[in-house]
Structure 1
Amino acid sequence: MKNLIFLALACVFVSCDSDDDNNEIITDPFDYNCDQEVVVSSDQFENATTSDFVFTDYSFTEGCLELSYSASGCDGSTWTVELIDSGAVMESAPPQRNIRMVLDNQELCQAVIRKETSFDISSLQVEGTDKVILHLENFEEDILYEY
């Protein structure tokens, strides 16, 4: 009788279907697929120069802050952007941070180009809270980042 129970249990374990192809291993919970990471530097925040541009929108997509912006240019293929945090956290409820986007645009065409760039801002999280207010320079409203 014991052999029969053992044999039945062995069959159950062997017949279990393991679908390993659909199991993703996430090694870093903040390993987002963003275009760039935010730079945290008080010197760069204060001293970086930017070309003219206008923000058109923002959204959060899969852990990334996606900024939409437009500027004059040929096609925008040579543009470089950085999102820079001042490094300071203003103590409030919720805490606040100052950030700015810097665009380097050397294109001398009159077309208006719209682009989107996503940034991994997980390094802007503040310990002890689940949200922070981002003051984005030249953006019409504050951005509430909840994590």
Structure 2
Amino acid sequence: MKLSKIITACFCFTLLLMSTQCDDDDVVNVPCDQTAIVDSGFYESVESHVYEVGDVYFNDNCLTIEISASGCDGNSWSMVLVDSGNIAESSPEQRYLKFVLNNDEVCLAIVSQVRSFDLTPIQVAGSSEIILNIEGFPEPVMYSY
């Protein structure tokens, strides 16, 4: 009788253990807030309001940036990431981008926001990484995909 209880307990424990394992199919990708724009004319002509960069990091194909700027609450801000359309033929290839903030808020407070941009449109076919030269950033950023 004791042996059957031990075998039953081991079987239940094994089932419980197997049900808690991770499954790669369960991974859910969170979409980016916006998509990077590739437009050489817009890149050359657009002007941005002043902002400061707090943090920049990658989450899959999203480039996330934390910015601070003067404003009331930041609800009216719009921001885009625009690529010049030029690809420097180096190894790895290089792209030229800039963040453009439109901020018409007239307040003296400093407001922070986090935005993310899908970089899929700037990926280079046949490559798995590119160097991003982002205007206003002191160092180039490596993007691997």
Q: TM-score, normalising length from structure 1? A: 0.77
Contact 1:32 1:64 in 2 (8 A): no
Instruction: Give the Cα–Cα distance (whole angstroms) in 1 for the partners of residues 141 and 37 of structure 2.
Output: 17
Instruction: Give the Cα–Cα distance (whole angstroms) in 2 for the partners of residues 62 and 127 of structure 1.
Output: 17
**Which position in structure 1 is the counterpart of 2:32?**
34
**Which position in structure 2 is the counterpart of 1:114?**
112
Contact 2:131 2:142 in 1 (8 A): yes
Contact 2:37 2:121 in 1 (8 A): no
Unaligned runs of 5+ in 1: 1-21
**Which position in structure 2 is the counterpart of 1:63?**
61
2:124 to 121, 126, 140: 126
Q: Deviations over 1:93-118 (max 9, x none)?
A: 00000000000000000111111100
Contact 1:32 1:63 in 2 (8 A): no
1:136: how far off?
0.6
SS at match of 1:60: strand
Instruction: Give the Cα–Cα distance (whole angstroms) in 1 for the partners of residues 43 and 37 of structure 2.
Output: 9
**Which position in structure 2 is the counterpart of 1:44?**
42
Instruction: Give the Cα–Cα distance (whole angstroms) in 2 for the partners of residues 123 and 131 of structure 1.
Output: 13
Unaligned runs of 5+ in 2: 1-22
Identity among equivalent positions (%) equals 38
1:32: how far off?
5.7
* Residue identity in the other structure for 1:120: D
1:137: how far off?
0.4
**Which position in structure 2 is the counterpart of 1:77?**
75
Q: Deviations over 1:49-70 (max 9, x none)?
A: 1111111110112421001111
Contact 1:32 1:62 in 2 (8 A): no
Size of the aligned set, in residue pairs, is 122
**Which position in structure 1 is the counterpart of 2:86?**
88
Contact 2:55 2:67 in 1 (8 A): yes
